[in-house]
Amino acid sequence: MDPYKELGFTESKDPFKAFGLTVNQDGTISRSSIVPLSPAFPDGESLPGATTTVSSKDVPLNPSHDTTVRLFLPSLPPSKSLLPLIIYFHGGGFVLFHAASVPIHASCARFAASLPAVVASVDYRLAPEHRLPAAFDDARDALRWAQSAVSSEPWVRDFVDPTKLFLMGSSAGGNICYHAALDLISTRLDISPLRLSGLILNQPYFGGIDRTTSELAFADDKVVSLPANDLFWELALPLGSDRDHEYSNVVAKEAKEVKFLPPCLVRGLNEDPLFDRQKLFVEMLIRAGVTVVAKMGSSGHHGVEYLNPEKAAEMATDVKNFVYSVAEFEAPGAIVPEQDL
């Protein structure tokens, strides 16, 4: 009996076929090239509808793990003020995609141009070959890299304001962003002269055993169907863990470090199966006294900004407004504009 049909779903899709995954005998997976890779553009690339060009290059992160960072720098007049640094973690259920994947590359280039900002997109290790917390460890490496880059990497040294560091992630990247910040707080990692000014979590990817209303309502979602959602957690979590693991169900047992988080922008769309979990996450942050800018409830499915230019522009505006007004959010408290939780 198909467990998904037992729950009344109209269709039980095979997530392996949907995402081009094949399980190998050694427990690794083969990924078909459903999303092509983009080269870096060290001499700059023009972006649709933008007057600013963006240069990009790949730099080593941790050679022993074969991880890298794709760095994006917008073209700027010599008198331009120093820019924020955004360390970005892409989505893909911890299993798919790279910093060089075409939609990821294009999104980071747009952010670099539109904010403007220097963007460091982390090509972290993927599950199941590298189960969590490997991606979280790579995020810690990224923070250490950024600290060193302030003096050693010309694009960071010459153009970045080290007091304006942001961690940003979409989907699984939002989860990584959140855990990276908790790790930074709990370990008291010294990243000076960098200062973490805020977190940007776009449709963050959280889970749990009990099904939420939005998961059931959008069980056949074309991006994160319930079978795909379950599969990604099965591949990403430590062996023997279930979806109530602390890496997945972050609201079941609130981490003691949550109250020390910097201001957070959290975005959620009402046609996303993960929407209810994102609302619970925002409520947890508010209870803990974290300053929250919650952009919750506008229309759209999971990852819609990669397919819809208007939604991409909407997201870029939200991020720009947050990054360039975060200094106003120093006092603890909740800011919940426009949409109700």
**Residues identified as active-site:** 171, 272, 302
Structure tokens at 205: 């990817």
> What is the rounded distance in angstroms from the CA atom of residue 77 to the CA atom of residue 247?
43
Query: From CA 179, how far away is CA 287, in angstroms rounded?
Result: 18
151-161 burial, b at 16+ Cβ within 10 Å, e below that, comes to eebebbeebbb
The conformation of residue 80, written as its DSSP 8-state character, comes to: P
Residue 173 near residue 108 (C-beta atoms within 8 A): no
In a 13 Å sphere around the CA of 158, the CA atoms on its Cβ side amount to 10
- Centroid of chain to Cα 251: 18
Q: Which residue has the tokens 């994160």?
A: 224
Q: CA–CA separation, 326 vs 199, rounded Å?
A: 10
Nearest to 269 by CA among 230, 231, 223: 223
